[in-house]
Structure 1
Amino acid sequence: MVTKERPVMVMGLYDSKLSFYALEWTLDRYFVGFGPNHPFKLVVVHARPTPASVVGVGGPGSGNLMTIIESEFKRKALRSVDQIKQMCLNKSIEDVKIEIVEGNPKKVICEAVDRHHASILVVGSPDYGIVKRAVLGSVSDYCAHHAHCSVMIVKRPSKTRIDIAQFR
């Protein structure tokens, strides 16, 4: 009997609140209720910034600052991994690969797509306005244009959105 390999879904985490919302949204729609027969192999990639990306200064004493920042980034990433594992466990999803990769989230996530030969990439979308998106750039925008697979951008519902079902 030939077993067909499931397509890979990469979930890119880079911004805790919105990324975790996108992860929960994705788990609920593509993994919960399927048991072991869910449609994708899930790889969650947590993009961890480098200390140098935060500290743009060098010189005497900067080594200590870099060490402190590096330590805090590692601690935060490990907390994120624990949170990812707990979310998956709570939803009875066991077959998940979790990676922490250091670097620019835009590049790290797109590289993970290539490395895992992903069929689909899922990322959250920040609530940036036009000006903030133009100045800071958006990970989701970058991935939509540069990832070598389909990209699903999960947006948090707006607070003003009206649920039509409540009026029926």
Structure 2
Amino acid sequence: MGKARTFGIGMDYSPTSKASLRWAAENLVEEGDRIILIHVQPPQADHSRKQLFEETGSRRLIIQKQYGLTHDAEVHEILDTVSKTKGAKVVAKIYWGDAREKLIDAVDDLKLDSLVIGSRGLGAIKRVLLGSVSDYVVTNASCPVTVVKVSKP
């Protein structure tokens, strides 16, 4: 076993972010690695609560509810499985602001070895009008980025 690595997973509880977590757990994470779920929330929030969470990080249910995060049984099941089978350490961090910019901040702040994010699969016009988070992150991140696409039914 080599040096433990740190992987960030962009998590908004959408089907694509869950697929990214599942993909990372099955294909990337090895014994002793660290997984950091990265949540980006809108900028409006209580500053003192933001500062506490930015400094500590946690995936405990009480903390998640306090910071307005969603409890998702599927996400917890994936994390529990990878923690038990591969000994991965799991934490969560919250950032407030624009998802594109904050994911880039997370790469540097958390010294990620790699970032895994989902793709909403916007068409060309919507991507131009709304901007693609994944395009921005792939272009600007200082670590390798894997974009997981979910096939449409």
TM-score, structure 1 normalization: 0.66
Q: Match for 2:115 among 111, 117, 121?
A: 121
How far does the alpha carbon of each residue in 1:87-122 deviate from its partner, in whole angstroms, 9 at most, with x for none? 211443651111122211111111110011112111
Q: Corresponding residue for 1:85?
A: 76
How far does the alpha carbon of each residue in 1:102-151 deviate from its partner, in whole angstroms, 9 at most, with x for none? 21111111111001111211110112100111111111111001111111
Does the 8 A contact of 1:48 with 1:73 survive in 2?
A: no
Is structure 2 residue 91 aligned with structure 1 residue 101? no
Q: Corresponding residue for 1:162?
A: none
Aligned AA (2:19): Y
Q: Which consecutive aligned stretches of 4+ in structure 1 deviate over 4 angstroms post-superposition?
A: none
- List alignment gaps of at least 5 residues for structure 1: 53-71, 160-168
Q: Corresponding residue for 1:12?
A: 10
Paired with 1:83 and 1:119, the residues of 2 have a C-alpha distance of: 25
Q: Match for 1:46 among 25, 39, 44?
A: 39
Paired with 1:111 and 1:133, the residues of 2 have a C-alpha distance of: 22
Q: Match for 2:132 among 129, 138, 142?
A: 138
Paired with 2:88 and 2:140, the residues of 1 have a C-alpha distance of: 30
Does the 8 A contact of 2:35 with 2:88 survive in 1?
A: no
Paired with 1:27 and 1:94, the residues of 2 have a C-alpha distance of: 9
Q: Match for 2:26 among 22, 25, 28?
A: 28
Paired with 1:134 and 1:73, the residues of 2 have a C-alpha distance of: 35
Instruction: Among all aligned residue pairs of Structure 1 and Structure 2, give the percentage whose two residues are the same amino acid.
Output: 25
Does the 8 A contact of 1:8 with 1:117 survive in 2?
A: yes
Aligned AA (1:17): P
- List alignment gaps of at least 5 residues for structure 2: 46-64
**Which has the larger displacement, 111-120 or 10-19?**
10-19
Paired with 1:47 and 1:138, the residues of 2 have a C-alpha distance of: 15
Paired with 1:133 and 1:104, the residues of 2 have a C-alpha distance of: 16
Paired with 2:4 and 2:81, the residues of 1 have a C-alpha distance of: 23
Shift of residue 11, structure 1, vs aligned partner: 1.1
Taking structure 1 as reference, are residues 41 and 90 closer, same or farther at Cα in structure 2, changes over 3 Å only? Answer: closer
Taking structure 1 as reference, are residues 132 and 108 closer, same or farther at Cα in structure 2, changes over 3 Å only? Answer: same
TM-score, structure 2 normalization: 0.72
